[in-house]
Every structure is written in structure tokens, then in C-alpha cells.
Amino acid sequence: MARKAHPDPAAPRLAALAALLADETRAAFCLALLDGRAWTAGELARYASVAPSTASEHLGKLVAGGLLAEERQGRHRYLRLADERTAHLVEDLAARIVPGSAPERPRTLGAVSAGSALARGRTCYDHLAGRIGIAIADAMTVRGLLAQDTGFALTDEGLRWFGGLGIGLETASRRPLVRSCLDWTERRPHLAGVAGAALCRHALDTGWCVRIGSGRAVKATPDGERALYEHLGIEAATLR
């Protein structure tokens, strides 16, 4: 019996995309890669506590489905999220998890500490998220640097603010200058796009923020706390 054609040709492709993330191991890989860096297949296998052969099978499906990009250097296979749109898709889906719906709470002090660190501050692909990211977006809005009336938009004063810090916003890509990204821990939008990426890069390059361990978590340094207070009026307590 012939298979009946679906009235919307996009439906099978959408179902296939959803199926890629309908597996805990593949979902864990995508969440780990939200740190914006490339991971080896072995690192991802250890992160998800699966055998290398299992990781390889799942990674192959994610690459074939267009969610991950891979690059081989010698014996190593490096994986990263395919692009910024993929990162926003993963972060947005994570933000839609119903609060309190998690099957169980962290059982160890290490797990609790890791969760707390991610909520305080982390990278979301190439921009800042968590309380640090929200504090920056809020402070920029209060100071008239960022408008949130109909989505995110930098004001003229905001453009001058970036220039005053020596942060260039030029790009040859079609990526938007600014865009909002729904924060999965704060349930509010933080700053993404070219400006969000440039500010995150500046924060890491100048030592305003440093990474914690090998994951996505970041924290503001004492120099960063002073700089964020000076430039945006953000109180240090908000960042801790």
C-alpha cells in the first residue's frame, strides 16, 4: 500500500529534526557544545558517560542531520554546533522545560555546585548567559544603550558605548547585530548576535570574566566586577 503524502512537505523534515534531539545522549552533546568550542568525540563520550562507539554513532546522526559540524585533525575528530541558529534552537528548547519537571534533583555537592555556577554565568554558544547575561542586558536597557520595545535593538548611544570600549561590531556575515536569546535558567532574554558575541569575547579577553573548569560556566573576576560597575552600574552582588 502506497504511503499517503503529507499535506505539508515540511512535516517529515521537522519530525526528523525533533527526533535528533529526542535522545538523552544526543541532547547532552548539544548542551555541552553550547560553550561555543569544539570538542573531540572522546571528550563528548566521557561527558555523556557513554562508550566511544556509542558516541560515534550518535555524533554521526547529529552531523548528518545538520545540527553539528565536524573537522578532522590527524587522529582527532572535532565537533561543534553547526551555527548560531542551532545554538539558539538548543537554548530555546532548554528554556521551555517546565520548571520543576526535572525527574530528580542533583544528588551530589559537585552537581549542585555545577548547576549553581551555570545559573550564575555561562556562555551560550558565543555570548554571555545566566545572571551575568541578564544583568548586562537589563543594565544596558536602563542606561538607554539597548531598546527592548520590539525585540532587541542597539540605540545610537549603545553603538557609541561599544565604540568607547574599543569593541568593534563589524561583520561580513548576515548575522544580526543584536538579537534576544531566551535564557533557560532565568527565563528572560539575554543579548546575542554580533554585539553579544563581541561583548563576551571582550569580557574573556580582558579578564572581566574567566571560564570555570572545562565547561560552559564563567564568573566575573574582581576586575570584571569593577569594570561592569563602572561601565554599566551593575552591583557586584548581582554577579556572585
pLDDT tens per residue across span 225-239:
999 999 999 999 988
pLDDT of residue 101: 44
Rounded mean pLDDT of the chain? 87
Tell me if 126 sits within 8 A of 36, measured CB to CB: yes
Is 98 a residue whose pLDDT tops 60?
no
Which pTM was predicted? 0.73
pLDDT in tens, 18-60: 999 999 999 999 998 988 888 999 999 999 999 999 999 999 9
pLDDT in tens, 140-152: 999 999 999 888 9
Amino acid at position 156, single letter: D
∠ CA(108), CA(240), CA(199), 5° rounding? 115
Q: Which of 133, 121, 97 is nearest to 216 (CA)?
A: 121
pLDDT of residue 172: 59
pLDDT of residue 113: 55
pLDDT of residue 11: 86
Across the range 155-181, mean pLDDT stands at 89
Across the range 77-82, mean pLDDT stands at 91
Q: How far apart are CA 61 and CA 153, in angstroms?
A: 37
Residue 166: Cβ within 10 Å count? 8
pLDDT in tens, 99-122: 544 444 545 444 445 568 888 999
pLDDT of residue 149: 86
Which three cell numbers mark 130?
545566566
Pick the CATH number of 15-82 from 3.40.50.1220, 1.10.10.10, 3.30.70.330, 2.60.40.10: 1.10.10.10
| Domains of the chain by residue range | 15-82, 117-239
Q: Which of 95, 137, 117 is nearest to 209 (CA)?
A: 117
Element (H, E) at 191: strand 189-192
